[in-house]
Amino acid sequence: MLSIKGCGQSQRGPAQFNYFETGKFMQIRLPAEWEPQDGVLMAWPHANSDWAPYLGEAQQLFGQMIRHISRFETVLLVVPAEEQESVRSILAASGCTLKRLRLYPLPCNDTWARDFGPITVYQGEQPLLLDFGFNGWGLKFAADLDNRLSRHLKECGAFPGARFKTCDLILEGGSIESDGKGTLLTTAECLLNANRNPHLNRTEIEERLKTELGASRVLWLEHGYLAGDDTDSHIDTLVRMAPDHTLVYVECNDPDDQHYEALQAMKRELELLRTGTGLPFRLIALPWPAARYDTDGQRLPATYANFLVINEAVLVPTYRDRHDERALQAVSRAFPGREVIGIDCSTLILQHGSLHCVTMQLPKGVLG
């Protein structure tokens, strides 16, 4: 049955963070997204958010996403307290696996769980939730409620299998990719932007990533962007890591498109990158969807790179575009043996994000 979690104020603080156990250093590791998961965190679109003009379409889309995710793992869903019954009805009608749903009545500004949700590392074999600061992608949007959500969920008992640590660094989940073996991929445009951590330079930020996330090396991309993207070039809109030293990236071959030069330069960067053993990465190109615009004529950041890897499947955003099928085939090549499911995200990009942006995976062990 559908689980509704109470969220009264807890008198207990977060679990103690300790790099040492029985006198021995415990290695930190950021797992790859394709490693086993317990669940996915999401936040339900509500009328007091920017989804108001097309709330019905957005909720229908979220119901479809949750239906697919709940086939394979648990979904933790933040919902407005007054909407629990209506959300329950929508999800039941969507065919969701209700026994794999946990609803948490907590306030939130918006739905971009990728960036305000906790980033999970392993400390030895123990999952540790890192609660980085979220400032609305450089103070562009209100984020006061979202910035507190991870701690509130912890206080509600949402993560019984994990320890918890608050980190004094602004960092969004969509800005980093991990191969699970110590290599991080990111963009200079985002992490070095003065609207995030202006007191830290590149070397200092890299050292923090190594300390907090256990990275042995950080690969920086200097090129690549999407018009209409509010995140300052999150890596999960441009290039994704996949098994067997694979990089899946967006490619623009149209010289008349405004992205052509930047994405061609990004492609050349990717060709020069090397794995931890010094070999070139296997590169898989994603097609370039036709330009999409909002009612004000602003270009929308449609990208096939914003897919979500879950247990046994990959959910891939589609846009009613002639290249949708090619995108699904490319992702299938990167993740053989997994079911590849296309999700029409034409509504999501109206708010300048896509499928990966509204989800945050919870690796194995986090839910106990």
Tell me the pLDDT band of 192, cut-offs 50, 70 and 90: very high
Residue 333 in 3-state DSSP?
helix
238-287 confidence digits (pLDDT tens): 999 999 999 999 999 999 999 999 999 999 999 999 999 999 999 999 99
Identify the weakest region by mean pLDDT among 21-25, 99-103, 177-181.
21-25
Is 112 exposed, middle or buried, given 0-12, 13-18 or 19+ CB atoms closer than 10 A? buried
Residue 83 in 3-state DSSP?
helix
Query: So what's the pLDDT on residue 3?
Result: 63
pLDDT surpassing 90 at residue 17: no
| Helices of type H across the chain | 55-69, 84-93, 113-116, 136-139, 149-155, 188-191, 202-213, 260-272, 324-334
Q: What percent of the chain has pLDDT over 90?
A: 92
Kindly report the pTM of this predicted structure: 0.94
* Measured distance CA(162)–CA(128) in Å, rounded: 5
295-333 confidence digits (pLDDT tens): 999 999 999 999 999 999 999 999 999 999 999 999 999
* Measured distance CA(214)–CA(183) in Å, rounded: 9
CATH level 2 (architecture), domain 27-363: 5-stranded Propeller (3.75)
CA dihedral (283, 289, 292, 298) in degrees, to 10, reads: 30
Q: Which residues, in sequence order, are CB contacts of 38 under 8 Å at separation 6+?
A: 73, 74, 161, 362, 363, 364, 365, 366, 367
